[in-house]
Structures are given as C-alpha cells and as structure tokens.
Amino acid sequence: MTRDTRHEARTQGASILESMDATEDAASGRVAPARRPDPPFGEAPRPGFWLQLAALGGVAGTVLAVASGATGVGHDVVSALAVPPLAAVVVAAWWAHRRLLAPSLLALGLFGAAALVTANGLHVVLASAALAAAAVSAAQCFRGEPVNAGPWRDYVTLTKPRIMSLLLVTGAAGMFVGAQGAPPLWLFLAAMAGLALACGGASALNHVLDADIDRLMGKRTEKRPVAAGRVSPSHALEFGLTLSALSFVLLASTVNVLTAALALVGNLFYVVVYTRWLKRSTPQNIVIGGAAGAVPPLVGYAAASGNLGLPALWLFLIVFLWTPPHFWALALLIKENYAAANVPMLPVVRGDEETTKQIVWYSLVLVAFTLAVGFWLGPVYSAAAVLLGGTFLALAWQLRRSPTRRNAGVLFHYSLLYLALLFVAAAVNPVLL
C-alpha cells in the first residue's frame, strides 16, 4: 500500500458495536456493483425518504409546540420532542445538503431562542418564525431529481442487526434489574424499540464514517453497503440521523427523558468519540471506546426505575471491562486487515504477545469484578458468574500460552455467549427470587 493511500486512510473520516462485525459481514452471495463516486462535500442530490421524514417531523414537532403553548398543556415536554428532528436536519445539511443549511439552522436557532425568551409576545413570534423556517427546510427536501436510494436489505445491514441483538440483551437485563422483576410489557417494548433505533442509527453513521477504512480491509468489510457504493453516504447519513432522532422522541415521550438522554449519549460517544477519533488515533481505542457499548444496561435500568442506582453502574462496568479482551481476541484474528487500513489496534501496534498478556489481565479483572458485585445482583447471577467466568479465564490463559488463530477464535465466540448468559442470569435473578 502506498504512503498516500495510508495517509488517506488515516486522515479521512466498540466496543460491542463493532467487534461483532466479523459475523455481520458474511458473504451474501450477491456481487457488489462498482462503487459510485461519493458526491462532492455539501453537494449531495435531493434528500432521501429518511431526511424528508425527519424534516416533516421537525415541522410537526414545532406545530405541536406552538399549539401546546397556546393551550398550556404539556408545553415543555412537547417542545423538547421537536429538537431532535430539527437537529438531525441541520447535521445532514452541514455534511451533505448545504442548500438546507440556512433554513434548517435558522429553524433550530429560532426554536432555541423561543425557549429562552419568557416574554409571551416575543416567545410566540420566535416560535412562529421557527415554524416557518422549518417548513421552508422541509420543502427544500423535496426539490431536485430523485436518486436511487439502494436496496432495502442494505438499510437493514446498516443497522448491524446481530450487534444490536446483544445490545438489546444487555439493555433488557438492565430493565429487569431496575424493576427488580419483570417490567410492564408496554414499557419493555417501548424501551427496547427506542434502544434499537439508537443502536441502529449509531451503526448506520459508523458505516458512513468508516467507509474509507472498510474499502481497505479486504473481503470482511469491502462489500458493506456504503463502502461498496450500493448506498450513497448521504442516504446512509440521513438514515442514521433520523433513527437517532426517532429514538430520542420515542423514549422521551413514552418512557422518560433520562432514558432518552442516555441512549443519545451512547450514540454520540460511539459515533463521535470512538469511530471518529479514538479508533484512528490510539491503540487504547477499544478500552475507552468500550464505554459506548456499555450504555444499554443504563438505558434499560433508567427505563424501569427512572433513575440510576449502583446495580446499573455495576452492569455498565461489566460490559466496559469485558470489551477489551473480547475485542482484542477478534483483533488477533484480523490484524492484517487493520494493518492494511493503518488502524492502530493493539495487535498491530504492540504485537501478539503483548495483546494476549493484556487479554489475561483484563479477563482476571473482569471475572473478579463480576464476582464482587454478586451481593447486589443476587445468587443466581453469582452462580453464573462463577461458572462462566472460570471458563473465560481458562480460554484466555490458553490463548496466552498458545496464541493461535483457533484459540483467538474460540475466546472471541465464547465471550459473546459469556456476556449474553451472564446478563440473562442477572435478569432472571429478581424474577425467581
């Protein structure tokens, strides 16, 4: 690979969310078409369905805010729900649709100003002006020649369903622990739907930001929808932003604002902090970035209890400590791919010996911690932590003694089962006892 190519890979442009990508990217049997060139910065064609939906959602939210202000019914809550779709349009406009930037930014700015102004007459004027700007922005989303959005199956792929499934397991366990039993079914379904939207939105944005890396990492990633050109970066961006906005609206309106805020924080941390910054800059990327994948238990706990207690923190830290040994086992399997894209994963920078040593140390800390918090999570959980943790340590030590691809693969796949079963035990404990 040439120096220029490496420099491009380094300058363009977790945790649980990315570490399962090896299973997500199995060959589908379809031949990827030649990649379409990305549109120039800020010159993407007419926005697609998802950004049109977000723009209309911003208009609807602004209308409801104005109406609720006139009636005095739920004005603060309704007004908060208008912000995410307005913000989503602004971000999409900045990155891909510059002609939308002025009206969308004006709409968001005027709406924020209306929230800060207490004088009744001026408050109404600012809110009405925000509605007009939002309407102009939405109208602009329907102008221009339509562009093929790509196969719907690729949009499902953008959400990384297999990764999402593990995140939902940890989030659901957090709900059961927070409720100290089975939560109400409607609340459970609303929280899981909102969490799924947040995870799917973050994954779609990850596809956009990592497209340059994906093209350099070989068969494992080069056929992903954005990297292969089946879905344009602008459409994937719109899709990710809209799912993220819908997640906040759904969780804030049906569950509680704390839950919505936590899901949004996890989304932003994964996309902005890990994908955009840490992944390309330091071999400690997954250690810090693992916090993003540890947020779902907090979301679930807050959804059930309305607050964050010590058990929520313990569940968060379990995932946080689990992520490095889990991900480094995968990195050992595909270190050549990361090296080709100049991504500073630990095996690439420090070698196999240091990586296996770190895996053992983190595994010891992980298992010790899971046993220590058994007092809060109960005897059923504690029994599972002993059995599952013993096997985890044995496989980590086996990899340390013989750092083969087979042993790395065994630890990687077992670690997925380990986390899922451990959190199922945490969820079952309050139901049985």
What whole-number distance in Å separates Cα of residue 345 and Cα of residue 290?
13
Of the candidates 237, 200, 177, 225, the residue with the CA atom closest to the CA atom of residue 28:
225
The predicted pLDDT at position 145 comes to: 76
Task: Confirm if 280 and 10 have CB atoms less than 8 A apart.
Answer: yes
Task: Confirm if 325 and 363 have CB atoms less than 8 A apart.
Answer: yes
Read off the pTM: 0.86
Residues 6+ apart with CB under 8 A from 366: 318, 321, 322, 325, 389, 392
Backbone torsions φ then ψ of 97, nearest 5 degrees: -135, 75
Q: What is the pLDDT of residues 235-261, one digit of tens each?
A: 999 999 999 999 999 999 999 999 999
The predicted pLDDT at position 17 comes to: 43
Q: Is the pLDDT of residue 75 over 90?
A: no
The predicted pLDDT at position 143 comes to: 85
Token code pair at residue 268: 């932003």
The predicted pLDDT at position 73 comes to: 65
Q: How many residues does the chain have?
A: 433
Q: What is the pLDDT of residues 358-415, one digit of tens each?
A: 999 999 999 999 999 999 999 999 999 999 999 999 999 999 999 999 999 999 999 9
User: Which of the 8 DSSP states describes residue 230?
Assistant: S
Q: What is the pLDDT of residues 277-336, one digit of tens each?
A: 999 999 989 999 889 999 999 999 999 999 999 999 999 999 999 999 999 999 999 999
What whole-number distance in Å separates Cα of residue 252 and Cα of residue 384?
34
Q: What is the pLDDT of residues 332-361, one digit of tens each?
A: 999 999 999 899 999 999 999 999 999 999
The predicted pLDDT at position 23 comes to: 41
> Concatenated DSSP letters for 331-383?
HHHTHHHHHHTT---HHHHH-HHHHHHHHHHHHHHHHHHHHHTHHHH-HHHHH
Binned at pLDDT 50, 70 and 90, residue 26 comes out as: very low
The predicted pLDDT at position 72 comes to: 65
Say yes or no: domain 152-432 is CATH 1.10.600: yes
Look at residue 43 and give its three-state secondary structure.
strand
Q: Is the pLDDT of residue 6 over 80?
A: no
Binned at pLDDT 50, 70 and 90, residue 117 comes out as: confident
Q: Is the pLDDT of residue 30 over 60?
A: no
The predicted pLDDT at position 408 comes to: 96
Task: Confirm if 284 and 299 have CB atoms less than 8 A apart.
Answer: no
Domain range summary for the chain, segments of one domain joined by +? 49-140, 152-432
Question: What is the chain's mean pLDDT, rounded?
Answer: 88
Look at residue 294 and give its three-state secondary structure.
coil
Q: What is the pLDDT of residues 32-60, one digit of tens each?
A: 444 444 444 445 578 999 999 999 999 99
